[in-house]
Amino acid sequence: MKASKLTGFCALLLLLSPSLASCGAAGNSSAINLRVLNWEDYIGEYELEADFDEDGEYETYPDVISAFEAYERIVNKKNVNVIYDTFDTNETMLSSLKTGKSTYDLICPSDYTIQKMMSQGMLVPFDEGSTPNYDASVSPYLNGQLDYITADDGTGKQTPISQYSRGYMWGTLGILYNPAKVSEETGVEEDTVKFDMADWNSLWDSKYHGQMSIKDSMRDTYSVGIMKLFDAEVKKAILDSGYYDENLDLKDGVDINAVIDKITTDPLYLEMDRVFNLSDQETVAKVEDVLLELKSNVFGFEVDSGKDDIVKGLIGMNLAWSGDAVYSMDRGENEAAETIYYSVPKTGGNIWFDGWVMPKSDSLHKEEAQEFVDFLSRPDIATMNMDTIGYTSFIAGQDVLDLVRNWYDPRTYAMYVYHDATLDGDSWEDSDFLYDEEGELVYQDGTGLHEDGDDYGSFDMTGSTYEQAVVNGEPMSWQEYQDLYNEQVAESEDEMLAWDIVDLTYMFEGTVETEGYGLGDTPDDNPYLFYTDELEAIPSPYGGEESVLAGRQFYAQYPPNYLIPKLAAMKDYGDNNRYVLSMWENVKGNNLPIWGVVVFACILGAVIIFAGAGLVTKLRYRKLRVERRKAARKQ
């Protein structure tokens, strides 16, 4: 997670607030102050309903933290107060923690920082069985990634970071772009823009000069330089795997889910992991040259403004984290009538993780810290977090599955009544599906769009499920529904339905109920498969049979499974960190190319010469004036 920078005042509060809060609660000896440090805007802040007594009486809580405090009171009979602070970067958080001026029970750093903290002996491992909700609902693929990343835990042996952390959110780094904006500025056709953004090399293409902002983040931008520098090696590894054709597309008949099941031993993944984490002095020097070249082609650097700048039309492209990309695409669509896209290029890229850890301290409330993490790992709470912050939870499970269907599955919009709150003068965030008094979704009944913004569709869909459509009382498959809609409703080719299927077995396998499903090859018979209407097949504008898929929000939140073996996490650089730091200082500090430096030096030299000549002339004339005045007085 990447959040905006804190001001100096906020940073001071970050350091002081745990101790101040503890002093304030000192009068209540039974109170436990659980000190939590997290990224900004990274937890559920909306009202939620929950029934912790399981008596059927739901209570409303203002946010996730309040719900946890209530959960502790009701279920665990504890008086827990959460003292919640935020930080801006892993580096500033780690630096402040090392000063010893502040202590926390839980912190949520990124993957490489967890590695670093483990290797420096700063963390306490989780107790076995301490997070049963997490164990039951964590994505098997993501959990395997945490098992794969290791660090020296102080005993001299490499230990998986999964023993010292619990995954919270995850995502990818990719290219966020507005093809209409870029086309208008450059004259490049929109479909060409969409095609090009499936290749990291396009960022260096002069036809996109000045269109893109890149992250003022050493590691993220370094990763893009790595993908450029080792483009040929990565493509060779992808082809050598045997999974992909010459266009880097998944071959027919390849069981990619079987590959993902054993991803951390797969030769392609291991090669991606090796290349992606090269940080020796020679490699870093080459990446510096690559990034200086990129720097001359982009609009500039940004820390957290890119996600807003692209909505405002200030830029056409942005190097973005997937969660920020979802935010920008939502805002662009609903506030600015702009269709913005997100791409992880076909050669792959960075997958990142944020997770909860417990720093060592004499005052650690370990039991309550583990309870907090496990509470956040309940699928119903995980959906609350996702709904608030836009990032993707480590947690899968039925509640998350239902949330993703409500967001992205076109079957949901075909079955149920959707209310457009903007017609009431409310914001688009308030738009939602309609529910009856029992809390059940209201089916469409074919009566058309009501004046109050309730869309009842073109058919009576009463009785439909995700397994089967029921159209005007007649059961049929969802493919048959698409055919019927195209025949009877669609008035043009653009209005015709053509749903693609995305396989998310890697995310949800083993975390949802599959009884009654045949686990077949359509979403009607397999809960791990999703229909989507947001993917666009873009043929090559350069000739040949190659094509790419342009994706949007669903693609950003859950990468298609064929991308998974080409995604790698960036680990702690260790001793090589000094090379990367020096490189980044050079890239950030060298604001002009060589020719620019020469021209600037010449101009500066000329200014100094003219200024010096002017000063000499001024002094000479002053001397002459003084001499004339003296001569005049003598007369």
Extended strands (E) in 299-423: 300-302, 317-321, 341-343, 349-356, 358-359, 392-393, 418-419
Average pLDDT over residues 92-108: 91
Confidence of residue 442 (pLDDT cuts 50, 70, 90): very high
Structure tokens at 493: 């080719």
In tens, the pLDDT along 604-631 reads 555 455 555 555 444 454 444 444 444 4
pLDDT-derived band at 446 (thresholds 50, 70, 90) equals: confident
Of the pLDDT bands very low, low, confident and very high (cuts 50, 70, 90), residue 536 is very high
Collapsed DSSP state (helix, strand, coil) of residue 616: helix
Residue 554 has pLDDT above 70, yes or no: yes
pLDDT value of position 59 = 92
Query: Does residue 192 have a pLDDT over 90?
Result: yes
Query: Would you state the pLDDT for residue 463?
Result: 97
Q: Give the mean model confidence (pLDDT) for residues 10-34.
A: 52
pLDDT band at 100 (very low <50, low <70, confident <90, very high): confident
Count the Cβ atoms, other than its own, within 10 Å of residue 116. Answer: 21
Query: What DSSP letter does each residue of 19-49 carry, written as one string?
Result: HHHHHHTTT-TTEEEEEEEEETT-S--S-EE
Residues 6+ apart with CB under 8 A from 402: 383
Mean pLDDT of 577-597: 76
Mean pLDDT, to the nearest integer, of 189-213? 98
Over residues 460-488, the pLDDT tens digits come to 999 999 999 999 999 999 999 999 999 99
Q: Nearest CA to 117 among 85, 164, 162, 157?
A: 164
Residue 137 and residue 397: Cα distance in Å, rounded?
5
Q: What is the pLDDT of residues 115-126, one digit of tens each?
A: 999 999 999 999
* Per-residue confidence (pLDDT) for residue 575, from 0 to 100: 94
pLDDT band at 591 (very low <50, low <70, confident <90, very high): low
Contact 109, 117 (CB under 8 A): yes
Q: Which residue has the higher pLDDT, 633 or 486?
A: 486
Residue 160 clears pLDDT 50, i.e. is over it: yes
The whole-number pLDDT of residue 606 equals 53
Q: How confident is the model at residue 11 (pLDDT cuts 50, 70, 90)?
A: very low
516 has a pLDDT exceeding 70: yes
Provide the pLDDT for residue 602. Answer: 53
pLDDT given at position 451: 74
Query: Binning pLDDT at 50, 70 and 90, where does residue 104 land?
Result: very high
Q: Which residues pair with 31 in a beta bridge?
A: 79
pLDDT beyond 60 at 594:
no
Distances (CA, A) of 558 to 326, 399, 498, 504: 11, 16, 20, 8
pTM above 0.75, yes or no: yes
CA–CA distance, 272 with 268 (Å, rounded to integer)? 6
Extended beta strands in 105-177, E state: 106-107, 123-124, 150-152, 158-160, 166-177
Q: Which two tokens stand for residue 361?
A: 């301290």
Instruction: Report phi then psi at 358, rounded to 5.
Output: -115, 105
Cα 266 from Cα 107, distance rounded (Å): 32
Asked whether residue 12 carries a pLDDT value surpassing 90, the answer given is no
Higher-confidence position of 159 and 304: 159
Distance, CA of 560 to CA of 481 (rounded, Å): 24
pLDDT at 101: 75
Structure tokens at 551: 């994706």
pLDDT higher than threshold 60 for residue 223:
yes
Percent of the chain with pLDDT over 90: 78
Mean pLDDT of the chain: 89
Indicate whether 453 pLDDT > 60: yes
Q: Average the pLDDT over 355-368 and give the result.
A: 96
